[in-house]
């Protein structure tokens, strides 16, 4: 019998089929393998999370935004609460990033916040594969202002607080590494 995590992997792989993103060396790679699965692995392997609903959310975190999977389909397969939290992880078309993150950090549960942090950490680990420095600087600014800024105002409960602290530390380290790679200081990035 298929576990909830196996089912979420299958659904995510199915719905992200044919999608790609820029991978190492600037070549196009399958989106599921390069991003969705990596976010799951950060949570499961690096952070040591065993919380099935959180891991399911991680696998489905981009499906509403990037595929034709609907919230109703997620609710039918995984329950209303998973669907609701995946919805909080979804940025609406044309929605300003600040508005999206404010809503997520205000209304999403602690699990969704942890998924967002792992998502951003993976994006930062691969950000230098994109050759557009202005876009990278924009993403660094969003990370610091809209993600870490909101996180500092959110009181997460254990065990999610410990997971968030770990991920926040890795995010801050990676922001510094990216800034150094681009020869940016914190002040230059704020301009």
Where exactly are the structural domains of the chain?
A: 4-190
The pLDDT score that the predictor gives to residue 186 is 53
Q: Mark residue 120 as left, alpha or beta (left: phi above 0; alpha: psi -120 to 50; beta: remaining).
A: alpha
Please return the burial class of 36, using the count of CB atoms within 10 Å of its CB with bins 0-12, 13-18 and 19+. buried
Task: Return the axis-axis angle of helices 110-126 and 80-88, rounded to nearest 10°.
Answer: 50
Please name the residues in contact with 90: beta carbons below 8 A apart, sequence gap of 6 or more. Answer: 64, 65
Q: ∠126-130-136 over CA atoms, to 5°?
A: 85
CB atoms within 10 A of CB 108: 22
pLDDT for res 185: 53
What stretches in the chain show pLDDT beneath 50? 187-191
Helix (H, G, I), strand (E, B) or coil at 29: strand
Q: Residue 190: what pLDDT? A: 46
Q: What is the pTM of this model?
A: 0.94
Residue 66 a catalytic site member = yes
Query: Can 81 be counted among the known catalytic residues?
Result: no
What would the pLDDT profile of 72-92 be if each residue is shown by its tens digit?
A: 999 999 999 999 999 999 999
List the catalytic residue out of 33, 66, 109, 168: 66
Q: What is the DSSP letter of 93?
A: T
- DSSP code of 68? S
4-190 has which fold? Hypothetical protein af1432 (1.10.3210)
Task: Look at residue 183 in the predicted model and tell me its pLDDT.
Answer: 85
Model confidence pLDDT, tens digit, residues 7-30: 999 999 999 999 999 988 888 999
**Residue-level pLDDT at 188:** 46
Q: What is the pLDDT of residues 175-184, one digit of tens each?
A: 999 999 988 6
What's the token pair of residue 62? 């981009």
Task: Kindly name the residue from 65, 109, 168, 189 that is annotated as catalytic.
Answer: 65
Question: Ramachandran region of residue 169, left (φ > 0), alpha (ψ -120 to 50) or beta?
Answer: alpha
The pLDDT, as a whole number, for residue 189 is 45
pLDDT at residue 124, as a whole number = 97
């Amino acid at each position: 019998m298929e576990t909830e995590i196996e089912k979420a992997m299958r659904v995510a792989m199915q719905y992200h089929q044919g999608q790609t993103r820029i991978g190492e060396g600037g070549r196009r790679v399958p989106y599921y393998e390069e991003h969705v699965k990596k976010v799951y692995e950060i949570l499961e392997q690096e952070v040591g999370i065993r919380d099935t609903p959180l891991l399911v959310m991680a696998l489905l975190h981009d499906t509403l935004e990037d595929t034709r999977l609907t919230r109703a389909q997620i609710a039918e397969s995984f329950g209303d609460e998973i669907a609701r939290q995946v919805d909080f992880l979804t940025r609406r078309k044309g929605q300003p990033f600040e508005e999206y993150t404010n809503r997520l950090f205000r209304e999403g549960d602690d699990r969704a916040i942890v998924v967002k942090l792992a998502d951003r950490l993976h994006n930062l680990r691969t950000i230098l594969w994109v050759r557009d420095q202005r876009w990278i600087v924009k993403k660094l600014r969003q990370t610091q202002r809209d993600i870490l800024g909101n996180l500092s105002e959110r009181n997460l409960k254990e065990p999610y607080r410990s997971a968030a602290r770990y991920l926040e530390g890795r995010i801050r380290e990676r922001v510094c590494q990216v800034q150094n790679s681009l020869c940016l200081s914190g002040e230059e990035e704020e301009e």
